[in-house]
Amino acid sequence: MKDLDTNVLSVISPRPAESYKGNYGRVLTIGGNENFGGAIIMSTSAAVHAGAGLVTCATAPANLTALHSTVPEAMFVDYTDNEAVNNVLKSTTAIVLGPGLGTDETSKKIIANVFANVSEEQYLIIDGSAITLLAQEKDLQANLPQAHIIFTPHEMEWQRLSGIKIAQQTETANRVQQEKLGATVILKKHHTEIYAPNAETFRLPLGGPYMSTGGMGDTLTGIIAAFMGQFAKTNPQKALQAAVYTHSAIADQLSENAYVVLPTDIIGHLQKFMQEHSHENYRTKIGFN
Amino acid sequence: MKDLDTNVLSVISPRPAESYKGNYGRVLTIGGNENFGGAIIMSTSAAVHAGAGLVTCATAPANLTALHSTVPEAMFVDYTDNEAVNNVLKSTTAIVLGPGLGTDETSKKIIANVFANVSEEQYLIIDGSAITLLAQEKDLQANLPQAHIIFTPHEMEWQRLSGIKIAQQTETANRVQQEKLGATVILKKHHTEIYAPNAETFRLPLGGPYMSTGGMGDTLTGIIAAFMGQFAKTNPQKALQAAVYTHSAIADQLSENAYVVLPTDIIGHLQKFMQEHSHENYRTKIGFN
Amino acid sequence: MKDLDTNVLSVISPRPAESYKGNYGRVLTIGGNENFGGAIIMSTSAAVHAGAGLVTCATAPANLTALHSTVPEAMFVDYTDNEAVNNVLKSTTAIVLGPGLGTDETSKKIIANVFANVSEEQYLIIDGSAITLLAQEKDLQANLPQAHIIFTPHEMEWQRLSGIKIAQQTETANRVQQEKLGATVILKKHHTEIYAPNAETFRLPLGGPYMSTGGMGDTLTGIIAAFMGQFAKTNPQKALQAAVYTHSAIADQLSENAYVVLPTDIIGHLQKFMQEHSHENYRTKIGFN
Amino acid sequence: MKDLDTNVLSVISPRPAESYKGNYGRVLTIGGNENFGGAIIMSTSAAVHAGAGLVTCATAPANLTALHSTVPEAMFVDYTDNEAVNNVLKSTTAIVLGPGLGTDETSKKIIANVFANVSEEQYLIIDGSAITLLAQEKDLQANLPQAHIIFTPHEMEWQRLSGIKIAQQTETANRVQQEKLGATVILKKHHTEIYAPNAETFRLPLGGPYMSTGGMGDTLTGIIAAFMGQFAKTNPQKALQAAVYTHSAIADQLSENAYVVLPTDIIGHLQKFMQEHSHENYRTKIGFN
């Protein structure tokens, strides 16, 4: 297992002068039932602030107003309207599925529809309730689609999905299950681990207990989606690593002045962090240019 | 009666590196009818900013959107849905009952349900309308549950609950009634007093008239809940004292630049204050390390 | 006509240490139909930030969520529910009637109810649509209540109410009509004029064209209500003058960095301005203490 | 083709001391269906922050609360209520038509109503969905009204409207189609181009790829409307150029600390930028006064 270092941020490259929002990825976030709307709003807002070209949020109609009040840059679709969701889905680069989605019949239908319509070249980030549901529903498991799937479980969710008890979640054991899933697994814990297909295992040497608060993982999903939409063409592994790195590096910075770092605080610092650490700036700072 | 001093803040200890949100308490705030939604939103937001691991707000559906717009980190349940409330309640560390709850039949049923389902090891903070209702409803009084109950009345609410007229609210008189209740009483006034079972009476030498504005008490309840969720295991008395101390100490700081200090201003400074005054930082600053 | 000077701010006195929110006035703002909700939200938020002890907003239910999202410190009542409105009204110090109220039958009924229930010692600030309606409705005029009425018309509204064409609005002409109304008139214009019963006419030498934007007057009403609630006992004339002075003095300060000063910007600076200019601080600064 | 330079900002003149909000234009923004509410909210908020005297937003009722929560300075009308829309329309200086409007039958009826009621001296900014609909609907094209029409297409929308493929969008080709339309065309691209009737073509040498994010164009429409409302009387060409210049100049400034510049960030800096670059200040800074 290898530690991630600040070099992964080099994937945050300066944008070419001639470009338009279509070049920076279309993100679709799906989640937020009548109880957990905040989760999908944070995921969506993170995607917008992390530079995604266009972001649409598929959620319960009850969350429409809070979404627009928090992040007017994002668009809305009713997450139970399959036709509308699929219409957005087909032109999407990266999909977040799960924050605040819940685990009832509606949630299951929404996941099934995404699984049936996602395509091979798309990035599908599966989080929270969607992981729990997948772990318990055989018919969802049987229909896990061909796509670049990224699971973002915490240890208990990983136990549910992989069958490996938390105490037994060693690199070797995790690898076996990750390979069976044929997907990337971001195992969220004290030092988060990244298991990608055909790649070394990486460990995040950043982050701390000031991040132990509700919504932290939801926010990560939005950052991952935005980074895949912008940087995966260059190097998908590094894009993903940079997203995970960025999320905790910002938290570490903010923790100097905050006993607990809130997800919305991290969102508010994405634009500045990405600018400071973009490839060119970083090279300049360390004396390469 | 003894004055609280800054040492109570030592309970705000550095978080252990290996920990997750489950270690920092689950808070359930219950209140906010169709007229007083802001009260429970402030209580909820205070709990989130004071570091509670997970926060759910049980309120009227009319307040869902304002809740998510203000503090997307919090989750929602309909406060009239007993099953849903109890589902959250059973895994909760600290419950806030009362801010903006109102005093009608719905309010009464909500309180009765909490009283019937709270368990002995939980902290139950009873505030505002819930104190008023309890004072007037014999059947609620008869069913006051076994739990760590903390009442947060202002002087008029304490008069209603204890029967002691404001002018007669001496330490001795208050003690008698507090002991009958078998609960902790935080008597909010110019210099707030804390009456805990089997403990000295403490007096808060902080705070000022810039705090005399609507919502100030609601905000305190959220801070108390978050502190009990995080620090009660170490020392429940000190955790409670630190919450009361923190609330007024922030107000004192902000009053240098504000004629009136608003509850939302205090909420916005919780993270920084707690970081500055956490045990280790405090010791460093005064030269112990 | 005499120019107001900075001495009027001396009414913003330091609050006595032993006091509670009931000492700082209860404000009721009434307005905001389905089209103009922002107006009453700004008035309400201004009252909260200017230090009113407790603030309730009576508005259309459609505005409930935007109210709580913007200023959770305020409470809500449905403005068509006379019983609920009157319940709040009876314990209110200062009432704002009119911002965004509209001029239809509902508006008229709301005004009529307030006129029927306001009492002699209360301050009633009549603004915007309420002035227009009053100007055109004889039966409302006939029922203008006994109370400390403060009209806040701009020049066109004053023309409607007084019958004096804008070009003829001289001090003498305005005085005649103001005395007939038996009320205070704050004539909003380039240099706003204050006509109070049995008092000199005052002219505000502050303010500028950066204040020419929608919602500026709504915000003033909230500041007036809060100042009357806090400072009228000392000197009602000076309290009113200080409110008018504060509103424009803040705008003048902010205009150094803003081509147009928005109402919400002024609201955001009330707490700091009032602290800086409170009597004691002012005396210290000029070397009196 | 000539590059715009900072001199166009001289149209941002100091406001005359004696003036009122009616002097600074009434703006009506029309758009925002149930899915794209954020677009019209950003346009509206931009108009308010750029100094428009009075701003009304005609949108779907679903967007009412998010509108008031974001920008309480703006008023609301239901965009399907032709009578209410026309009531505001008739006293309006500049109309924004299109952001988030959608392309269904409702959208079409709304556009048709505006086309039938706009008058010759008004500025009509046609953006987004309204351009797409116009490009595909012959009966809308046939009824393009007499007014100062300003189209704000990006390259693909210009292709749809003009029939010129993106690769062939040369100055000469664009001119021919712009003249047929008898309108001003702001072609949004890497270096935006302005084609106004009987005027040189101007090119904006500002802006960058940090602006490639959803909502950027919506925000521009609001700035244009506010500038036409305030400065068109002096010099309509220069007013328009200054709006386009301001939008990108702010983005350029903010990009020093932001990898992506969000529309809401630009809105938040309008007041300061306009103040710093207003004619008098600019002249002072460069040593003319």
pLDDT tens sequence across A206-228: 999 999 999 999 999 999 999 99
- Chain D residue numbers touching C259 (CB-CB < 8 A): 12, 51, 270-271, 274-275, 278
- Give CA–CA dist A80/D171, Å, rounded: 46
pLDDT of residue D288: 53
Distance linking the first and last C-alpha atoms of chain C = 32
Least Cα distance to C87 among C98, C99, C75 occurs for: C75
Confidence of residue C232 (pLDDT cuts 50, 70, 90): very high
- Give CA–CA dist D67/D71, Å, rounded: 6
Least Cα distance to B225 among B33, B17, B31, B10 occurs for: B31
Whether C32 shows a pLDDT value over 90: the answer reads yes
Confidence of residue B4 (pLDDT cuts 50, 70, 90): very high
Superfamily of domain C21-285 in the CATH hierarchy: Ribokinase (3.40.1190.20)
- Chain C residue numbers touching B35 (CB-CB < 8 A): 75-77, 84
- Give CA–CA dist B18/B14, Å, rounded: 12
Region C184-206: mean pLDDT is: 96
CB contact under 8 A, A259 and B12: yes
pLDDT of residue B283: 59
* Crossing angle of helices B263-276 and B37-49, rounded to 10°: 10
Residue A31 Ramachandran class (φ > 0 left, ψ -120 to 50 alpha, else beta): left
pLDDT of residue D289: 43
Residue A119 Ramachandran class (φ > 0 left, ψ -120 to 50 alpha, else beta): beta
- Chain B residue numbers touching C19 (CB-CB < 8 A): 190, 209, 212
From chain D residues 25-64, the ones with a CB under 8 A of any chain C CB are 48-55, 64
Tell me the two tokens of residue B175.
């003690």
Number of B to C CB contacts under 8 A, please give it.
Answer: 115
Region C9-29: mean pLDDT is: 93
Please name every residue paired with A76 in a beta bridge, in sequence order, or none if there are none. A57
Q: CA of A85 to nearest chain B CA: how many angstroms apart? A: 23
- Give CA–CA dist D58/D97, Å, rounded: 10
The secondary element (H helix, E strand) that includes residue B193 is strand B193-195
- Chain B residue numbers touching C278 (CB-CB < 8 A): 259
From chain A residues 230-289, the ones with a CB under 8 A of any chain D CB are 270-272, 274-275, 278
CB contact under 8 A, B258 and C275: yes
Q: CA of C94 to nearest chain B CA: how many angstroms apart? A: 16
Burial of C253 (0-12, 13-18, 19+ CB in 10 A): middle
Chains touching chain D, criterion 3+ CB pairs below 8 Å: A, C
Q: What is the DSSP string of B96-144?
A: EE-TT--SSHHHHHHHHHHHHH--TTSEEEE-THHHHHHHH-HHHHHT-
pLDDT of residue A289: 43
Whether C288 shows a pLDDT value over 60: the answer reads no
Nearest CA in chain B to C12: B259
Region C40-56: mean pLDDT is: 98
CB contact under 8 A, A262 and B69: no
Least Cα distance to B132 among B111, B104, B105, B160 occurs for: B160
- Chain C residue numbers touching B63 (CB-CB < 8 A): 65, 68
C214 vs D15, D21, D77: nearest CB: D21
CA distances from D267 to A163, C85, C105, D218, D229 (A): 50, 37, 38, 11, 17
- Chain D residue numbers touching A71 (CB-CB < 8 A): 38
B127-158, pLDDT tens digit by residue?
999 999 999 999 999 999 999 999 999 999 99
Could you give the maximum distance between any two Cα atoms of chain B, in Å? 56
CA distances from C138 to C99, C133, C155, D245 (A): 21, 9, 21, 52
Chains touching chain A, criterion 3+ CB pairs below 8 Å: B, D
Which residue is associated with the tokens 């994002």? A74
- Give CA–CA dist D280/A146, Å, rounded: 62
Nearest CA in chain C to D275: C259
pLDDT of residue C289: 43
Q: Contact at 8 Å (CB) between C85 and C77?
A: yes
Which residue is associated with the tokens 């008031």? D68
Name the phi and psi angles at C235, rounded to 5. -165, 100
Q: Contact at 8 Å (CB) between A33 and A210?
A: no
Q: CA of B260 to nearest chain C CA: how many angstroms apart? A: 5
Tell me the two tokens of residue C50.
């200017």
C262 vs D54, D73, D272: nearest CB: D73
Predicted TM-score (pTM) of this structure: 0.96
Nearest CA in chain A to B53: A213
CB contact under 8 A, A73 and D212: no
Angle at C252 between CA C249 and CA C253, to 5 degrees: 90
pLDDT of residue C9: 95
Least Cα distance to D97 among D145, D35, D160 occurs for: D145
Tell me how far the alpha carbon of residue D281 is from its chain's centroid: 25
pLDDT of residue A18: 87
CB contact under 8 A, A16 and D209: yes
Other CB atoms closer than 10 Å to residue B155's CB: what's the count?
Answer: 17
Task: Note the residue count of chain D.
Answer: 289
CB contact under 8 A, D38 and A64: no
pLDDT of residue D19: 86
pLDDT of residue A129: 94
Whether C283 shows a pLDDT value over 90: the answer reads no
B64-122, pLDDT tens digit by residue?
999 999 999 999 999 999 999 999 999 999 999 999 999 999 999 999 999 999 999 99
Burial of C120 (0-12, 13-18, 19+ CB in 10 A): exposed
Q: Considering chain D, what percentage of its residues have pLDDT values greater than 90? A: 93
A79 Cβ under 8 Å from any chain D Cβ: no
pLDDT of residue C234: 87
CB contact under 8 A, A215 and B73: yes
Strand C184-187 to strand D193-195: parallel, antiparallel, or no bridges (unpaired)? unpaired
Number of A to D CB contacts under 8 A, please give it.
Answer: 113
Q: What is the DSSP string of A215-245?
A: THHHHHHHHHHHHHHHHTTT-HHHHHHHHHH
- Give CA–CA dist A125/A122, Å, rounded: 10
Q: Contact at 8 Å (CB) between A267 and A49?
A: yes
- Chain C residue numbers touching B38 (CB-CB < 8 A): 68, 71-76
Please name every residue paired with D54 in a beta bridge, in sequence order, or none if there are none. D26
AA identity, residue D232: A
Q: Where are the domains of chain B?
A: 21-285
D14-66, pLDDT tens digit by residue?
999 888 898 999 999 999 999 999 999 999 999 999 999 999 999 999 999 99
pLDDT of residue C280: 67
A18 Cβ under 8 Å from any chain D Cβ: yes
Region B184-190: mean pLDDT is: 97
C124-169, pLDDT tens digit by residue?
999 999 999 999 999 999 999 999 999 999 999 999 999 999 999 9
Q: CA of B146 to nearest chain C CA: how many angstroms apart? A: 33
CB contact under 8 A, A257 and B278: no
Q: Considering chain C, what percentage of its residues have pLDDT values greater than 70? A: 96
B18 Cβ under 8 Å from any chain C Cβ: no
- Give CA–CA dist A36/B221, Å, rounded: 23
Tell me how far the alpha carbon of residue A50 is from its chain's centroid: 11
- Give CA–CA dist D212/A52, Å, rounded: 9
Whether D215 shows a pLDDT value over 60: the answer reads yes
C69 vs B36, B70, B255: nearest CB: B70
Q: Contact at 8 Å (CB) between A24 and A52?
A: yes
Q: What is the DSSP string of C94-137?
A: EEEE-TT--SSHHHHHHHHHHHHH--TTSEEEE-THHHHHHHH-
Residue D185 Ramachandran class (φ > 0 left, ψ -120 to 50 alpha, else beta): beta
A35 vs B24, B69, B77: nearest CB: B77
- Chain D residue numbers touching C40 (CB-CB < 8 A): none
CB contact under 8 A, D37 and A274: no
Please name every residue paired with C55 in a beta bridge, in sequence order, or none if there are none. C27
Query: Which of A242-251, B273-282, C197-206, D214-223 has the lowest average pLDDT?
Result: B273-282
CB contact under 8 A, B24 and A212: yes
- Chain C residue numbers touching B258 (CB-CB < 8 A): 271-272, 274-275
> Tens place of pLDDT for every residue, chain A, 289 residues?
999 999 999 999 999 988 889 899 999 999 999 999 999 999 999 999 999 999 999 999 999 999 999 999 999 999 999 999 999 999 999 999 999 999 999 999 999 999 999 999 999 999 999 999 999 999 999 999 999 999 999 999 999 999 999 999 999 999 999 999 999 999 999 999 999 999 999 999 999 999 999 999 999 999 999 999 999 998 999 999 999 999 999 999 999 999 999 999 999 999 999 999 986 666 666 555 4
A11 contacts: CB under 8 Å, gap ≥ 6: A227, A231, A234, A235, A238, A239, A241, A242, A279
- Chain D residue numbers touching C262 (CB-CB < 8 A): 48-49, 73, 271
Give CA torsion, residues D184, D185, D188, D194, to 10 deg. Answer: -60
CB contact under 8 A, C209 and D49: no
Confidence of residue C285 (pLDDT cuts 50, 70, 90): low
pLDDT of residue B19: 86
C222 contacts: CB under 8 Å, gap ≥ 6: C27, C29, C42, C43, C44, C45, C46, C47, C48, C50, C96, C267
Number of C to D CB contacts under 8 A, please give it.
Answer: 114
Other CB atoms closer than 10 Å to residue C164's CB: what's the count?
Answer: 17
Region D123-140: mean pLDDT is: 96
Q: CA of B160 to nearest chain C CA: how many angstroms apart? A: 17
Q: What is the DSSP string of B219-264?
A: HHHHHHHHHHHHHTTT-HHHHHHHHHHHHHHHHHHHTTS-SS--HH
D163-191, pLDDT tens digit by residue?
999 999 999 999 999 999 999 999 999 99
Least Cα distance to D63 among D29, D40, D37 occurs for: D37
- DSSP label at residue D213: S
Average pLDDT, chain C: 95
Angle at A183 between CA A181 and CA A189, to 5 degrees: 100
Q: What is the DSSP string of C187-224?
A: EBSTT-EEE-TTS-EEE-----GGG-STTHHHHHHHHH
Task: Note the residue count of chain B.
Answer: 289
- Give CA–CA dist A177/A164, Å, rounded: 9
Give CA torsion, residues B239, B240, B242, B246, to 10 deg. Answer: 130
Nearest CA in chain D to A54: D214
Alpha helices in A21-81 (DSSP H): 37-49, 64-70
Average pLDDT, chain B: 95
- Give CA–CA dist B155/B169, Å, rounded: 8
Whether B62 shows a pLDDT value over 80: the answer reads yes
pLDDT of residue B284: 65
- Chain A residue numbers touching B28 (CB-CB < 8 A): none
